[in-house]
Structure formats: C-alpha cells, structure tokens
Structure 1
Amino acid sequence: MTRSSFFKLPALAAAFLTTLAIGMTPVAHAQQQVFRVSAIPDEAPTELQRKFKPLGEYLSQKIGMKVEFTPVTDYAASVEGLINHKLDMVWFGGFTFVQANVRSGGKIVPLVQREEDEKFRSVFITTDKSINKLEDLKGKNFSFGAESSTSGHLMPRSFLLSAKINPDMDMKRVSYSGAHDATVAAVAGGKVDAGALNISVWEKLIEAGKVDTSKVRVFYTTPPYYDYNWSVRSDIDPAVRKKLTDAFLSLNADTPQGKEILQLQRATRFIPTKPENYKAIEAAARNAGLLK
C-alpha cells in the first residue's frame, strides 16, 4: 500500500459513512412522523376506533404528522405504553393519569380535558326494587368496571367507603366487568344486583336506545370530581405539545368538523388542565389502598 493510499482510507471511510447516514435519514425521519395515540379501553374497541377516527384526521392536519390509533388490551397497558415510549399520547381517566404520573416520576403532562371533566360523576344502577340507596347494597352482588377505572371503580369505591360501606366486606360478591357498557349489560342481564359506571357512557347508551330504563335505573349519582384528560410524556417536543393543545382548544361546534368531533367525544369543548387537578384522585386512590 502506498503512502498516498494509506491517507486516503480515512477520507473514503468518512465518505462511506456520510453516504450511509444520508441513505438512512429518510427511514428514521419517516418513523418519527407517526404520532401514536391510544385510550383506556373503557368501551368496546370498535367504539373507541369510531370515536377517534375524525379526531385523528384533524390532529394529523394540525401537527403535520400521521396520527395513528393504537388500541390497548387493558388500562395498565395504556399506562405502560406511554411510560415506555410505545405511545405518545393517551386518553386517560383521572386514576390512570395518576398511576402513569407516579410510575414515571412526574414525567406525564396532562394537556387538555373536556369541560365536562371538571365536574364528572358516576352513577349506580340496578334492576332490584329493594335497592334505593348505597346502604341497600350490603349483602348484594355488585359490579365495578375496570379495576383502574376512575369513574367505574375508584370514585364509586371512594364514595361507598365514605358511606361506611366496604365493598369487599359488606357485599356478597364484587366483580369487575372491564368496561362501562359491560357493567350495564351485567346489571340488565341479572348477573349482578347493581353496578357503577361513568355518567357519560350511561347517557350515551340511553340516547342510543341500548338501555331499557323501565328495568334498569339510576339510584345514586356521585358528587362531582375531576376525571379524563389527554396526556403526553414530558419529553415530547414542546412545539408538538403546543400544536396539540391549540388543536384541541380550537375545536368549535360551529364548524362541521368541530361539531362531529365534539359530539363523538361527548364534549362541549376542550379546556386546559394541570396535574394539580388530580390531587384529590390521588388521595382517594391512596385512601382506598389502590395506589402504593
């Protein structure tokens, strides 16, 4: 090997690496252009997909990336997915937001919530004519929703405890349906004497004619509490976070697109939110022994 050839090798290697990097850039760039979104599975997967489709298309336009909905199997998977960078944004309930924030060491940022989520409520339903107040649930079979559900488990349990009713000791049997609509089906089908679910899903099922209110009725509605929000990780590009927030806040029922999205999300409008709004949820979870 000549001296001149020897000195050309580093230059050739550098040129090769540069070419390789340039060739790889479009692939890496393309991967970064997919913004992965999910939601706690508090309703049937097909319903979640239906509700998200117009919102996903709208957000894609606003942030300049493909927004892709990634369904998860359970509530825990939505928490782990966001923390472990498999998801970029998640529609959390108040409790799942608290779980994610605690698990991540405070690295989850709630962006927006529906105006309705400032004063969210749960309803207790039954077909049993002997059940008219929370105290009547003693000795009965009862169904919550998913174990990590704010409106289907945590807050109903919290209000039961406040009424001096320990579900695990005072009820005959406690089960978990996994989703709000499944709780209604369990009560309507006589599998349990009563159950608790979020008021928004209850009202939607009634409007859709999927509940026979001559048989299934609400016998208790909880006081209001903060609930759902759209959350991202704190390491998401601040510019993207701002675009997302602005996109949600700009939704207006006066436009055809805004009206469709807000109706599907069962929202009057979206408003900013902050971690402090969920301190009461965290306290309730710790008090109920559901958050260590």
Structure 2
Amino acid sequence: MKFTSLLAAAGILLASSTAFAQQVLRVSAIPDEAPTELQRKFKPLGEYLEKKTGMKVEFTPVTDYAASVEGLINHKLDMVWFGGFTFIQAKDRSKGQVVPLVQRVEDEKFRSVFITTSPAIQKLEDLKGKTLSFGSESSTSGHLMPRSFLLAAKVDPDSDLKRIAFSGAHDATVAAVAGGKVDAGALNISVWEKLVGEKKVDAAKVRVFYTTPPYYDYNWTVRADMPADLKKKITDAFLSLDPNTPEGKQILELQRATRFIPTRVENYNAIEAAAKNAGLLKK
C-alpha cells in the first residue's frame, strides 16, 4: 500500500514537471509604451528564446502595471519585464518568491528626465503651482524616482503643484506635454531619447530641464519556483546576445540595450527605500 502511494506521488511529481516542460513560456512586460510597440520589440526576442529554451514563447500583453505583478505571482505569467518599482511590488506581494535574472547594462545607472515647453520652467522648484504628468503610478522612471527627486528638492507633488496627472505610459506623457495638456512631465530617459531620435517629438519645442541622478531600474523577473535548469537557459540566452551578430544586434537595439548582465535582489534596495519614503509602499 505504501509502495503504491509512493508510486502515485512520484507520478504526480513527474506529471507536474513534464507539464511545465511542455507548456508555453508566458512572457509579459509592464505597459510603459503603446501595446503595438511592446509587441514589435518582443517578437525577435521571443523567437530567439524559443530556440534557446526549446519551448514555445508567447507574449501576453497586460492592461496595466498591477496586472503584470498579479499575473506573475498568480502563475498566469512565467517571466515579466519589470521596472525597479514593479519588481519591488512583486517581491512584496509574493513575500520574496520572485527572482530577477538579468538587466541591461544601462539599468545599472538609469535616469529619468523632466520635460516642458514653458520657458518659465528651468528647475524642479519652478514646478510649484504648475501642472505635471507622471507616467503610470507604478512606474519607477515615470513616477517613483521623479517623485523622490522632487521631494528631495523640497517640492511636494501633492501639495505644491497645481495638479498632477498620470498618463499611463512614457510616450503618452510626452504627448501630454507637447499638446499643452500639462506644463511639464517626467519620464524614462531611454524612451525620450528614442522619440527624439525618431523625430516623433519636436525637440525645439519640448525640452529637458532636469535629468535625475542614476538609479537601478528594469529587469527580467521569474518566480522562484521556476525549474533551475530553465532559469539557467533563460539567463544564458540573454547573456549570450551578441551585438556583432545580425540577430543579437536586432534584439539588443529593440531592447535599447548594449548587452544584458546578471542582476540580484539587493540591487533594488534603494528603490524599495524610495518607495517607502514616498509613501508608495508600506514600511
């Protein structure tokens, strides 16, 4: 009887392991840009990961930042491109059961920019009495860190500004500033540089008036219960991306990365502290 029970238990474990090995690797990303842009950026990377992992890789868009966190910790997603703050939220919600695998080398020293069309705004203190757009409330580079640097400059967004808005995405923040809906906006420097480079924003009209000091930001995160061999395959795939090959060059350019490097939970301690100090995460 005991032997039969042991066999049954082993069969369940084997079935569970086989099920994961056969399933689709469900990947998503925080929606910090338009859904069509996220899909375009991910397609070559997804095809590359399929070759490297031997699994079908499927990009699953989410409606908002919170959905990316809930999707991962509730086993509806297997890997997510998080900002530093969304990673901290996932770590907090899962009680530490998520693991950041890799980040772009650029994410070691990431920055945000504040933009405006107003000649009267030259520094953060000039925002007092003005209107400002952040990105998503859960965005690291579009809300948390800009808010943190505003507070450090003795500017409280909730009491010193005339009004704050949340555009939902970095490109939407630029559009709000350029369209005169707000006096200023804060966003990810990488998206800003991309939009300027693609001439999707008139840099003669919309200008940067403040660039933040650097901080850690984005990473690719999985759950801690992902099989170790799959974690290694995914990590190795990212670390092997070579800008000197056509495939590697295309993927890295779309990800706005020079290369990917390993990361660890401790890199995001400062983000966690900033979130608690700004009142965006419980102490």
Q: TM-score, normalised by structure 2?
A: 0.93
The Cα of 1:153 is off from its aligned counterpart by: 0.0
Query: How do 1:166-177 residues align onto structure 2 when only pairs under 5 Å count?
Result: 166-177=156-167
Matches within 5 A, 1:238-257: 238-257=228-247
Q: Aligned equivalents of 2:53 and 2:22: distance in 1?
A: 12
Match of 2:184 in 1: 194
Matched, 1:148 2:142: no
Deviations 1:19-73 (A, max 9, x none): xx9xxx8xx8498420000000000000000000000000000000000000000
For residues 21 and 263 of structure 2, the distance between their equivalents in structure 1, rounded to whole angstroms, comes to 30
Deviations 1:182-201 (A, max 9, x none): 00000000000000000000
Partner of residue 34, structure 2:
44
Answering whether residue 277 of structure 2 is matched by residue 287 of structure 1, we say: yes
Give runs of aligned pairs for residues 61-100 of structure 1, distance below 5 A.
Answer: 61-100=51-90
Distance of 1:205 and 1:265 partners within structure 2? 14
Task: Find the aligned partners of 1:228 and 1:291 in 2 and give their Cα distance.
Answer: 18
Q: 1:61 to 1:188 in 2, by over 3 A?
A: same
Please report how far the alpha carbon of residue 261 of structure 1 lies from its aligned counterpart in structure 2 after TM superposition.
Answer: 0.1
SS of the equivalent of 1:118 reads helix
Q: Secondary structure at the match of 1:160?
A: helix
User: In the aligned structure 2, how far is the partner of 1:32 from the partner of 1:158?
Assistant: 44
- The answer on whether the counterparts of 2:242 and 2:259 sit within 8 Å (CA) in structure 1 is yes
In 2: Cα distance, 1:151 partner to 1:266 partner: 15
* TM-score, length of structure 1 as denominator length: 0.90
Residue 21 of structure 2 contacts residue 55 of structure 2 at CA under 8 Å; is this kept in 1? no
1:214 to 204, 209, 216: 204
Structure 1 stretches lacking a partner, 5+ long: 1-13
Q: Which amino acid aligns with 2:217?
A: D
Instruction: Calculate percent identity across the aligned residue pairs.
Output: 78
Local SS of the residue matching 1:124: strand
After TM superposition, which residue ranges in structure 1, 4 or more long, deviate above 4 angstroms? 28-31
If you compute each CA radius of gyration, which structure gives the higher value, 1 or 2?
1
Root-mean-square deviation over aligned CA pairs: 1.5
The equivalent residue for 1:8 is none
**Counterpart in the other structure of 1:204:** 194
Q: How many positions carry a matched residue from both structures? A: 269
d(CA) in 2 for partners of 1:46, 1:133 = 34
Residue from 185, 189, 214 that aligns with 1:224: 214
1:224-244 Cα offsets, whole Å, 9 max, x none, are: 000000000000010000000
- Provide, for residues 244-283 of structure 1, a one-character-per-residue CA deviation record: whole Å limited to 9, x for no partner: 0000000010000000000000000000000000000000
Aligned to 1:7: none
